[in-house]
Amino acid sequence: MFEVDKIRQDFPALSQKVYGKSLIYLDNAATTQKPQVVIDAVNEMNNGINGNIHRGIHYLSSLCTERYEAARETVQHFLHAAKKEEIVLTSGTTAAINLVAFSFGERYIQNGDEILISEAEHHSNIVPWQLLCKRKGAKIKVLPIYKDGGLAVKQLPQYLSPKTKLCCITQMSNVLGIVNPIKEIVSIAHTHQVPVLVDGAQGIVHQDIDVQDIDCDFYVFSGHKLYGPTGTGILYGKEKWLDAMPPYQGGGDMIASVSFEQTTYAELPLKFEAGTANYIGAHGLKTAIDYLNQLGLPAIQVYEQSLLNYALQQLLLIEGLQIYGTATPKSGLVSFNIKGLHPADTAMLLDKMGIAARSGHLCAQPLMQRFGIQSMLRLSFSFYNTKEEIDKAVTALVKARQMLIH
Ligand code: PLP
């Protein structure tokens, strides 16, 4: 039994009212609410357990360093990574992808090379590669999706060539909710000697991840989507790549020695962590992961899948509603349009009824173009949502439709 009523009490944000209505928060793919333990963990450090890490030998510095490194170990175990040196703490998915785009790009990308991405990527997994390609005279290739949103994995070998230097694919689309067969993709890419970066921003929230089993070369995610603080994130990279890649940013903490003539760099992972790290956020992220482990990822997955199935069933009863991304497996969210309604108008009406939904291009304009539209409406679920909330959202959508059409 998944005790959702009890779990909801862990999240103070869920009991607030907006416009006098009880909040129904269905924008979890954008960011998740924080459990009290995470809020407490961050507050405790801001209230006094605060000393800059790695440099000081005083009590507070040592304690914060311990907590920061404990966070790294927690993430290592959470991802089932082989070594803690393979875990780089960043400010989020975007920062992690930009790190790889710059650093891997500096070392390995040359004029005429190709980087393969998919048609269903978030802008964060498109634009850093475009910037890299501009710098280096390389080219982006795009693996298409089918009409139902499924990735054309069968075509993958045709898109890989000796020029392909990296393949960057989302584990789960933040628009379609479709979960890509990452392990299979990695295996195909590796037979062509192409390393793979997996954008796990959405994927990690809904399932257990084992980077060694997937065998991906890089895996990135954001803390704030995983019930942790904003400004936290992770880059997992196989040691052989991280070792070979040059530093991304220069500054304190990433050096071994500095003179005006020459600087040598710190060992992994500090080589990639220039400047004062977000050690308070890291402790918050560790607390969030501990919390999730306590709830149990398999139980979370089963419950969230039942919410999604219920939502799909109920939404399809609404006249004129079209869902984008009908392929399976699908997880955690549903994006759609209702004939005759602009998603921004609908989201605004839902908001006034206390329901937080997302509308717009969802940071995936190429995907919108693929479907020949400008925007969608998205409901995204967490284990703290309920079927009653979905019922209320569906009723609100029907009401919005009546208001806007008739
Ligand atoms: N990739 C995917 C699939 C996402 O859904 C998001 C955020 O919505 C990102 C990358 C970017 O994450 P962040 O803004 O936390 O860096």
Domains and CATH numbers, the chain: 4-27+296-404 (3.90.1150.10), 49-293 (3.40.640.10)
Q: How far is the CA of 32 from the centre of ligand 1 (A)?
A: 12
Q: Look at residue 62 and tell me whether its pLDDT is greater than 90.
A: yes
The rounded mean pLDDT for the chain is 97
Answer whether residue 131 shows pLDDT above 90.
Answer: yes
Question: pLDDT tens for residues 75-98?
Answer: 999 999 999 999 999 999 999 999
The pLDDT value recorded for residue 67 is 98
pLDDT for 295-328, tens place per residue? 999 999 999 999 999 999 999 999 999 999 999 9
For the cut 90, the answer to whether the pLDDT of residue 66 exceeds it is yes
Residue 2 has pLDDT above 90, yes or no: no
Interval between CA 283 and ligand 1 midpoint (Å)? 21
pLDDT at residue 55 is higher than 90: no
98 lines ligand 1 (CB under 6 A): no
- A 10 A CB-CB count for 260 gives 5
Q: Does 180 sit in the ligand 1 pocket, CB within 6 Å?
A: no
Residue 188 confidence (pLDDT): 98
State the CB neighbour count (10 A cutoff) for residue 3: 10
Mean pLDDT of 220-244: 98
Statement: residue 406 has pLDDT above 90: no
Percent of the chain with pLDDT over 90: 99
Index of the ligand 1 atom closest to the CA of residue 172: 3
pLDDT of amino acid 56? 86
Task: Tell me, using a 6 A CB cutoff, whether residue 94 lines ligand 1.
Answer: yes
pLDDT tens, position by position, 170-184: 999 999 999 999 999
Q: How far is the CA of 378 from the centre of ligand 1 (A)?
A: 15
Q: What percent of the chain has pLDDT over 70?
A: 100
* pTM of the predicted model as reported, rounded to 2 decimal places: 0.98
Check pLDDT > 80 for residue 155.
yes
Asked if residue 32 has its Cβ within 6 Å of ligand 1, the reply is: no
Residue nearest to atom 5 of ligand 1 (CA): 174
Q: Strands 263-265, 255-258: parallel, antiparallel or unpaired by DSSP?
A: antiparallel
Q: Is the pLDDT of residue 1 over 80?
A: no
